[in-house]
Structures are given as C-alpha cells and as structure tokens.
Amino acid sequence: MWRRWLYLICFGLLIGHGLANDTTPPMHVIAVADVINPVSAEYITESLKTAMQQSAQALIIELDTPGGLDKSMRLIIKEMLNSPLPVIVYVAPSGSRAASAGTFITLAAHVAAMAPGTNIGAAHPVAVGSGDMGKEMAEKVTNDAAAYIKSIAEQRGRNVEWAEKAVRESISASETEALQHKLIDLIAVDLTDLLKQLNGRRVATISGERTLHTAGAPLQRVEMSARQRLLSMLADPNVAYMLLMLGAAGLFFEISTPGVVLPGVIGGISLLLGLYALQLLPVNYAGLALIVLAIILFIAEVKVTSYGALTIGGIVAMILGSLMLFEAPAPLPGVSLWVVVPSTLLVAAFFIFLVGAALRTLAQRPYSGREGLIRQAGVALTPIDPKQGKVFVAGERWDAHSEELIEQGSAVEVVQMDGMTLLVKKKAR
C-alpha cells in the first residue's frame, strides 16, 4: 500500500514541476549590434512595451555598440529608468563593446552583465555633424554628460567615480575590471549562464521589487519589424549617400530627356529615401552645399571652355562634400572612401556626358521642315532677280528671289524662307 502512495506522490511532484515550468513567464531577448540612433531607440522602446504587454519576466538586451546619438541614448535610458519591467543589458557576445552611449545604457540597466572578452567605457562626448566644438561649449557638454552618468550610477548603485571618469577621461574597462569596480553585476559566458545566475535575483523597479525566476524560463527572441530593418539600412551613411547620388542623377536625366519616365521614377524614390535618411543621421550642411556646387560645376564644364578646370574643381568639391556630409568621429561609421571616389567619378562622367550630348544635339542644324532648308544648296532654274525666279532645292521646285542677280544654272544657297518663297544667294565656290 505504501508503495502506491509513494508512486502517487512522485507522479504529483513531476506534474507540478512540469506545470510550474510551463507557466514560467518568458524572457524576451533583443540584439542591438549597431550605432545607437533613432531606429535602435525605437526598437528597444517598442520591444520593452511588447515585453510588458506579453507579461514577460524581463527584457534582455544583447548589446554591442560603438556609441551613438545623445538624443537617442537619452530616450532609451528614460524608458529603462521608468520601466516597471526589469531590463537586463548583456554586453555580448565575446568581442563586443559598450562604448560611449553604450556605457550609459549599460549602467542604466536593472541588471548589467558582460561576456568574457568584452569592454565598456570611453564615454567622452564628441561633436557629431557640426565640426569641432569650442572650448566653452565642449566644457558644457562634458559637464552635462558627467552629471547625467553620475545620476544614473547613483540610482543603480554603481561606481559613480569611475562613471564620471569614463566621461571626463574616456577610460575603459574589461569585463573583469568592470565587475571589480562595481560597474556591472555579473559576468556570464552565454545566455544560459546568464539565466542561471539571474535566478532568484531581486530587482528594484519603479513599481517595486521583483524576484526573477529564470531557471528553465523560455527565451523569446524579438526581431526588428520590416519597417525598422528598412530604416536601419537607410541609417547607414553609405546607403544614404548612394541614394542621394542616384536620386540626383535620375531626376536630372528625366528633366534633360522628358518622357523616359523610368529614370525619373527611380530618381524620385531614391532622392526621397535619401532625404529621409538625412533625418536619421548627423548631417553637415557644408558638405551638402559642396555636393550641390560640384553638380553645378559639372554642368558648367559643358558650356564653358575651361580646359578641364571646372571638372577638376567639381570632382574635388564632390569628394570633400561627400566625406564631410556625415561627419562622425571614430568609432562611429561615416561614408567610406571606397564608396565616395567611384561614386564621384561616375556622377562626374554622367553629368558631363549627358549634358554634353544634350547641348550637341541642340547645336546641330535641323534636317527637316522649314528650318531644314536653311543653308541647303540648289540650282537656279531661271535667272533670279530681287523679285522672282525658280530654283531646285531638296528635290523640289521653289519660287525664289535674291538680293543680287543670279544667272540661270548657277549654284545657290538658301538664306531664308519667306512663306513659300526662298531667299537665296550665290553659293560660294
């Protein structure tokens, strides 16, 4: 009898354990391996809202970033600090970094973790898109960033002194140094190890303390939406630059040769996408002005005899403008020189060839119609005086008159057409 009860008890425990695992809320996981920009900020904030709506235990952010835009970073941190759901920032995989804006985001997490072979720090603010800051402005920006990171570190109970040095002195730390300096809470080899170490950890959120039950908790990956992936692609300076160049070339081709349609459609779409991308990137308008100047110089080269000077000037202006267009200090990505140089040469060749061909076409003498008769050669069929005569021109007999006397059989040339009568002159031999 006692064996039967023992079996029933064991069976009940197994079922209870299975039900407990089935009802354990999932851990949502997202991966941010890019510059912190409006797209990544939207991805993180939307993922956090989704995790709360689907009653997830927490949101894990796998982070690998060289830094990014201050406005986007502050938007992310604002959502994290006011989130009732625990946010875990995990700098991973090995070889990743949480530099600059990534340092702020990691310190703002409810739980901060790093994988072996990662680093954090170098959070000194830099000028993006508007050239070098003046000494006074640089000091103001640095003081503001230092106060912000100190506030975050204090709220999360992290090393305030080191956090301030990361801003003022651009210091960095490996994962072991970060743990020693109390910048992070743990080092985890992978997500499985992370969940193991998080199990039973108490996390203070804005809505109160929560205890994480991560042993056996399912992981649910949340990917970027199709819209966010498109915007992320447009936020690449190289893609944005090529869209602008393609848009300008396509529209110019359509304007110069109306009726082709397809180049205009492609150019219009490309230009609009390129202009939208400018909103996602730090733009230097001096660089944009140089690109416009380069296009003007390419067009002027066809109309003005400069012996190549305008073309050279246009190429130099295009290259300089392209490199300045998205001015982003290292380690943030800018426009690659391997994209700028070929694009500049192609655009220069396109404008010079296309505009030159159009002007040559306009300069050609018409071959048909009234205008086509001008300067045509013919023969006087009768004597021609200032009042009347007959000529044979372009395979037809015409009434003609002349300002001089022309003998029958003489070679003539059409000077002008008055109604249906030709004004001719003797053709020079």
Is position 426 annotated as part of the catalytic site? no
Q: Which domains does the chain have, with CATH numbers?
A: 14-227 (3.90.226.10), 236-363 (no CATH), 369-426 (2.40.50.140)
pLDDT of residue 408: 83
pLDDT of residue 57: 94
Q: Which residues lie closer than 8 Å to 114 by C-beta, 6 or more apart?
A: 90, 91, 92, 98, 120, 175, 178, 179, 184, 187, 188
Is position 78 annotated as part of the catalytic site? no
Average pLDDT of the segment spanning 174-193? 95
Is the pLDDT reported for residue 4 higher than 70?
no
Q: Which of 215, 217, 218 is nearest to 200 (CA)?
A: 215
Is the pLDDT reported for residue 225 higher than 50?
yes
Pairing mode of beta strands 219-221, 27-32: parallel
Q: Which of 377, 381, 425 is nearest to 401 (CA)?
A: 425
> Tens of pLDDT along 82-133?
999 999 999 999 999 999 999 999 999 999 999 999 999 988 876 544 445 5
Q: 116-130, 149-163, 165-179, 248-262: which has the minimum mean pLDDT?
A: 248-262
Average pLDDT, the chain: 81
The pTM of this model reads 0.68
Q: Which residue has the higher pLDDT, 58 or 272?
A: 58
pLDDT of residue 24: 79
Catalytic residue among 40, 72, 96, 100: 100
Q: 23-37, 238-252, 388-402: which has the minimum mean pLDDT?
A: 238-252
pLDDT of residue 118: 96
Token pair 């625990």: residue = 86
pLDDT of residue 280: 67
> Tens of pLDDT along 14-62?
444 444 444 778 999 999 998 898 889 999 999 999 999 999 999 999 9
Average pLDDT of the segment spanning 364-374? 59
pLDDT of residue 3: 53
Catalytic residue among 71, 78, 140, 196: 140
pLDDT of residue 134: 62
Cβ-in-10-Å burial (0-12, 13-18, 19+) of 409 comes to: exposed
pLDDT of residue 143: 92
Amino acid, single-letter form, for residue 241: Y
Q: In which band, very low, low, confident or very high, does the pLDDT at 327 lie, cut at 50, 70 and 90?
A: low
Percentage, residues of the chain above pLDDT 70: 80
pLDDT of residue 54: 93
Average pLDDT of the segment spanning 247-270? 75
Is the pLDDT reported for residue 299 higher than 90?
no
Cis amide linkage into residue 331, ω under 30° from 0: yes
